[in-house]
Amino acid sequence: MQSILNRKPRLHSHHIAHQRVPSPSTKLSGRCTSQLCGPVCSRVTRRRRNKICFGSVAQASKTTDSNLDHDNARDKVNPIRDILQDDAGIGVHELSRDIGFTDSTETLALSKEFSIPGCVRITDGRGGMPKVTLIHQSGSFCEVYLDGGNIHTWVLANGGEVFYAPDGTSYNRQTLNNWGTSLCFPQFGEGGERPGTPPSEQLLPRDGLAKMLKWTISQTGVKDDGNGEFPYVTIEVCDTDTSRALWDKHFYLSMQVSLQHDALEISVSVKNTGMQQLEFAAALKSHLAVTDIEAPQTNFIGLKNCVYVDNAMHAAKPRVRYSDTSDSCRLYGATDRVFLSSKSETGVEVGTGCTVFVRDISSEDEHGYHDRALFNEWKESDAENYRWYAGIAIGAIGKLIKVDPGLTHTGVVRLEVHDLSHRAETVRRKSKYDRVSLQDITKRTSFAFREEGLSELQ
């Protein structure tokens, strides 16, 4: 698993479509009127691909003994090829590089309805679970799984991976949501007397119910913020019999993920569809890839002068502490801390010269995501993976959100990667230049003469 490194991008099959930008003529003129979506939510039509893109497959038409394998492969590809070409408007080379031509019927139907060539793809991912892949025109991409609403992968245009997920792991719905970025709702953490615990008659699962539910796609499209176009997907889920058995509340969740050149913007909306007030915690929990969590170059920043609750040191009854140290914070063991009302700019220095900033950009009228949480199970519980990620969460944890019946709360988070390595190199060179210049000045004859004159006067 590689962290955010400056290296040449790896060209995969899906990168072929990265450079295609949908023309304005592909957008519909209508706008989404849903309150859960932003004011500018333009849908994009699917364009049909010319049949020439399948020429290499269609040419395998001979039935001699020497090319029986060719014919068998062609027979398997043809049904899917026809569906994708005529209905979805995407080519075989745009299918998932992980699973080949094994997408389920359900996934193909979703792909037919929501795929946008070069921008949005719906395929089966790890463990056969459906995922939405957002592709930016720069070459960066991210993957959103419908099982649990997990943003599992985010890769920059240079191939650097922002989120950590272990290689060689057999993924299912439970293990998938242990990595990447997941939504914690209506509880954050273990519950009990810890921050992030909503009123409930029974103990809720760790980090709540959202990651246990199967989300659905409500919209895909392309936006333009003036700096260029970028894709987005909106997924949604509501309470079920299973969720009400654990937490007897009625709700509707909507999450919109937008992929920009070097940033992810995540909007989480919670609507109270019941008759009683809804009180809950909400947070986005991320595993950011780092070079080594034990290295001095890996730091959490922006957490100075904050009140925090240490759940690891005092597990039975967490105690409130105060962080009055330097602006950067390092981990030295198992960590589970919740920083309350940390409104400053926070993030993680991943050890390569890059910093991933985690910001709350919610409306001032809303109860924002002002709290932060740091976590890492360390070598005692996860010896194979603890070194390669920095766990950080942003949300409303200490002070719970309250929503009256029929109303909606929306929180917006922005994760942005800044490459500060060139700045560090500039500072290093300037410091070296200043030292060398000072040495040259002290070696000059006129300077030495003034030094001798001053010593005689003394």
Report how far residue 350's alpha carbon sits from residue 6's, in angstroms, rounded to the nearest whole number.
Answer: 13
Model confidence, pTM: 0.73
pLDDT score for 22 = 36
357 near 416, Cβ under 8 Å?
A: yes
Range with the poorest average pLDDT among 153-157, 356-360, 423-427, 431-435: 423-427
Range with the poorest average pLDDT among 10-14, 32-36, 281-285: 32-36
Burial of 384 by CB count in 10 Å (0-12 exposed, 13-18 middle, 19+ buried)? exposed
14 near 92, Cβ under 8 Å?
A: no
pLDDT score for 434 = 64
pLDDT score for 446 = 54
SS3 of residue 48 by DSSP: coil
Q: Which of 123-132, 173-182, 249-258 has the highest mean pLDDT?
A: 249-258
Q: Which residue has the tokens 């759940």?
A: 311
Tell me the residue type at 408.
T
Question: Which pLDDT tens digit goes with each residue over 345-354?
Answer: 899 999 999 9
Tell me the residue type at 100.
G
Strand order in the sheet with 181-184: 120-124, 130-135, 141-145, 150-155, 181-184, 278-289, 389-403, 371-376, 335-340, 306-310, 319-323
Report how far residue 132's alpha carbon sits from residue 142's, in angstroms, rounded to the nearest whole number.
Answer: 8
Confidence band of 432 (pLDDT split at 50, 70, 90): low
Take residue 294 and report the two structure tokens written for it: 């034990």
157 near 163, Cβ under 8 Å?
A: no
Mean pLDDT value across residues 84-106: 50
Confidence band of 41 (pLDDT split at 50, 70, 90): very low
Take residue 231 and report the two structure tokens written for it: 């894709």
Burial of 195 by CB count in 10 Å (0-12 exposed, 13-18 middle, 19+ buried)? buried
| DSSP label at residue 50 | P
Mean pLDDT value across residues 68-81: 42
Range with the poorest average pLDDT among 66-80, 114-128, 283-297: 66-80
Question: Left if phi > 0, otherwise alpha if psi is -120 to 50, otherwise beta: which for 139?
Answer: left
Task: Give the residue from 365, 335, 289 showing the smallest Cα distance to 189.
Answer: 335
CA 406 to chain centre: 29
pLDDT score for 322 = 82
| DSSP label at residue 44 | B
Look at residue 297 and tell me whether its pLDDT is greater than 80: yes
Take residue 44 and report the two structure tokens written for it: 């994009």
Mean pLDDT value across residues 64-77: 42
Look at residue 300 and tell me whether its pLDDT is greater than 80: yes
Range with the poorest average pLDDT among 229-233, 272-276, 300-304, 313-317: 313-317
411 near 273, Cβ under 8 Å?
A: no
pLDDT score for 454 = 47
Burial of 274 by CB count in 10 Å (0-12 exposed, 13-18 middle, 19+ buried)? middle
Q: Which residue has the higher pLDDT, 158 or 440?
A: 158
- C-alpha distances (whole Å) from 53 to each of 14, 50, 113 are 15, 6, 21
Look at residue 113 and tell me whether its pLDDT is greater than 50: yes
Q: What is the DSSP string of 156-197?
A: -TTS-B-B---TT----HHHHTTSSEEEEBS--TT-TTSTT-
| DSSP label at residue 148 | T
pLDDT score for 393 = 97
Domains of the chain: 172-423 (2.70.98.10)
- Type and span of the H or E element at 257: strand 251-259
Confidence band of 328 (pLDDT split at 50, 70, 90): confident
pLDDT score for 225 = 86
Q: Which residue has the higher pLDDT, 98 or 282?
A: 282
pLDDT score for 99 = 40
Question: How do the residues of the chain divide into helix, strand and coil, expressed in percent and rounded to 5?
Answer: 25, 35, 40
CB atoms within 10 A of CB 79: 10
Look at residue 1 and tell me whether its pLDDT is greater than 60: no
pLDDT score for 154 = 97
Report how far residue 286's alpha carbon sits from residue 290's, in angstroms, rounded to the nearest whole number.
Answer: 12
Question: Which pLDDT tens digit goes with each residue over 367-402?
Answer: 889 999 999 999 989 999 999 999 999 999 999 999
Report how far residue 42's alpha carbon sits from residue 118's, in angstroms, rounded to the nearest whole number.
Answer: 16
pLDDT score for 146 = 96
Report how far residue 69's alpha carbon sits from residue 239's, in angstroms, rounded to the nearest whole number.
Answer: 49
pLDDT score for 176 = 87
Confidence band of 170 (pLDDT split at 50, 70, 90): confident
- Type and span of the H or E element at 322: strand 319-323
Question: Which pLDDT tens digit goes with each residue over 263-288?
Answer: 999 999 999 999 999 999 999 999 99
Look at residue 67 and tell me whether its pLDDT is greater than 60: no
Look at residue 430 and tell me whether its pLDDT is greater than 50: yes
Take residue 266 and report the two structure tokens written for it: 């995540």
Report how far residue 255's alpha carbon sits from residue 345's, in angstroms, rounded to the nearest whole number.
Answer: 23
Report how far residue 283's alpha carbon sits from residue 46's, in angstroms, rounded to the nearest whole number.
Answer: 34
* Average pLDDT for the chain: 77
Report how far residue 298's alpha carbon sits from residue 183's, in angstroms, rounded to the nearest whole number.
Answer: 25
Take residue 101 and report the two structure tokens written for it: 């031509």
Q: What percent of the chain has pLDDT over 70?
A: 68
Report how far residue 268's alpha carbon sits from residue 376's, in angstroms, rounded to the nearest whole number.
Answer: 25
Q: Which residue has the higher pLDDT, 108 or 96?
A: 108
Q: What percent of the chain has pLDDT over 90?
A: 53
